[in-house]
Chain A
């Protein structure tokens, strides 16, 4: 296995690990110490140690935090489920021999390669109530939607739709790769035994895909939790705070109100939530590594 002495290996490993420790872990620890302070940079008053006060405030008094958590969780659940179902359907269809298969494969992955903020602005144009093309198309079907984005009950779902547009390709590409790795004999055997399409899918394809479905969904959950650009670009958290994600609320607290201590506490609460989910994924990777 080993090519040379471990001590030589350390020279290879050290630069990268040191960089991650200094620029990745040190800031996190700094953020944790700030989380125990009250520090509103805009007021000119310095840091004051307040113990767990920020965390207590977040968990017991901050309705905006709970609101952003509720929105983010709902968002994550809806988009990951829809993307999984759509992606599975498309992958299943494209795993058969079809003309222009490679063309479709590349076409479908384009949305996720674009910068998310660009995607947000494209949709902002399309959905503009006065000049957007979507309201015009809907109007031609006599559907009148004066303001999908100015209505607190519809705006969250519009953002989810944009996410689904952007990230369904992720599920689709991942599942397609997995499907293509299956040996064709599997399906031939099922066909000989007289299984129809739905039976083959339910008893063979789905069970075999289960591990990759779980991994892809968890990765997507972690990523969707960080939702920021679409909110920033399309609604800025509005109307009211109906589309405020955890990332966006933390960002606003830190960089608009300069309430730095509180923002750090928020980001640590956020971090704990995400770490819980990423641990599950990391364990799966550890087993495969």
Chain B
């Protein structure tokens, strides 16, 4: 009897903690959504139940997507998509090749090379931001897509190589060996046998790099100012124009946050693996 009661108290505590932490996690997102569907004049009110406490409006959203802010929003959306998609593709090509080399060829210093590659991930980005700025200036690439695509590729490549190496090691070697015996060249074996087998890992690495590139801020803010502007930087633009405009910040922030959050929800296991640099495997 006593034991059973204890268990129930434990369960209650667990659920109280879980619900409290859920509210804490979800409230900031929730409030941002609420703010984005309030009439700007109503932002000072604290109603949070649409239709009951306030009349929801699509005004902020149409302002952002079709109104005077349209140009800026579309520029941000376009830059974000192009930069994330292309830099992740570049990372994937270089990363899969190098990861395969480290996993399958016996280099004498393979371990040292792999650890050196990973160490690149740990540099504070600000340490390379100034030489990057100067480099891109002398190449006349400031404020262009290539500058940021290159920066994000450098930023994501170490992680991609490190994770790809892991994925290739987990594949059974025998299939590749059979392909080689059947007369495939090393490159054919890589493209026709190893890559298809590692496909889930490859997709995961692409999505991870896409999220990290989408979220990256420092390189975009230092390497561009007008023609290229990803959504995270567009958000900060709301400050200088008209002080602090809650409705605009809310709508833009939701636009910037939704894609990576949805991608992460679908790849949650790989997200953890990526963020812990492969130390945690699920």
Listed in ascending order, the chain A residues whose CB lies under 8 Å from chain B are 1-6, 8-10, 12-13, 15-17, 19-20, 23-24, 26-28, 30-31, 34, 89-90, 93-94, 96, 98, 104-119, 121-126, 128, 130-131, 133, 136, 165, 169-170, 173-174, 177-178, 180, 197, 212, 215-216, 219, 222, 225-226, 228-229, 232-233, 246-247, 250-251, 254-255, 260, 263-264, 267-268, 270-271, 274-275, 278, 281-282, 285-286, 288-289
Query: Given A8-B105, A106-B265, A110-B261, 15 other A-B contacts at CB below 8 A?
Result: A13-B97, A13-B107, A28-B131, A34-B130, A104-B22, A113-B211, A113-B263, A115-B232, A125-B249, A131-B43, A131-B44, A133-B31, A212-B279, A219-B277, A274-B124
Listed in ascending order, the chain B residues whose CB lies under 8 Å from chain A are 10, 14, 17-18, 21-22, 24-26, 28-29, 31-32, 35, 43-44, 46, 93-95, 97-98, 100-102, 104-107, 111, 113-115, 117-120, 122-135, 150, 153-154, 157-158, 161, 173, 176-177, 180, 186-187, 189-190, 211, 214-215, 217-218, 221-222, 231-233, 235-236, 244, 246, 249-250, 253, 256-257, 260-261, 263-265, 268, 271-272, 275-277, 279-282
Once the chains bind, are A15 and B94 in contact (CB under 8 Å)?
yes
Known A104-B18, A107-B22, A177-B280; judge A125-B265 contact (CB<8 A): no
Once the chains bind, are B127 and A268 in contact (CB under 8 Å)?
yes
Once the chains bind, are B111 and A9 in contact (CB under 8 Å)?
no
A18 CA / B18 CA spacing, docked (Å): 48
Known A28-B131, A131-B43, A170-B275; judge A267-B126 contact (CB<8 A): yes
Once the chains bind, are A27 and B131 in contact (CB under 8 Å)?
yes
- Which chain B residue lies CB-closest to A123? B28
Chain B hits for A116, CB < 8 A: 215, 217
Once the chains bind, are A31 and B130 in contact (CB under 8 Å)?
yes
Once the chains bind, are A289 and B127 in contact (CB under 8 Å)?
no
Please classify the interface of chain A as helix (H, G, I), strand (E, B), loop, or mixed, using the class held by over half of its residues.
helix
Once the chains bind, are B124 and A247 in contact (CB under 8 Å)?
yes
A1 CA / B276 CA spacing, docked (Å): 27
Contact residue among A24, A282, A289 (Cβ-Cβ distance under 8 Å from B128)? A24
Chain B hits for A251, CB < 8 A: 126, 129, 218, 222
Known A24-B128, A104-B22; judge A122-B32 contact (CB<8 A): yes
Chain B hits for A275, CB < 8 A: 122
A254 CA / B134 CA spacing, docked (Å): 11
A126 CA / B253 CA spacing, docked (Å): 13
A229 CA / B253 CA spacing, docked (Å): 14
Chain B hits for A260, CB < 8 A: 130, 134
Question: Interface centre among B118, B122, B157, B177, by most A CB within 10 Å?
Answer: B122
Once the chains bind, are A271 and B123 in contact (CB under 8 Å)?
yes
Chain A hits for B153, CB < 8 A: 19, 23
Once the chains bind, are A15 and B235 in contact (CB under 8 Å)?
no
Once the chains bind, are A115 and B126 in contact (CB under 8 Å)?
no
Chain B hits for A264, CB < 8 A: 130-131
Contact residue among B113, B122, B124, B281 (Cβ-Cβ distance under 8 Å from A281)? B122
Once the chains bind, are A3 and B105 in contact (CB under 8 Å)?
yes
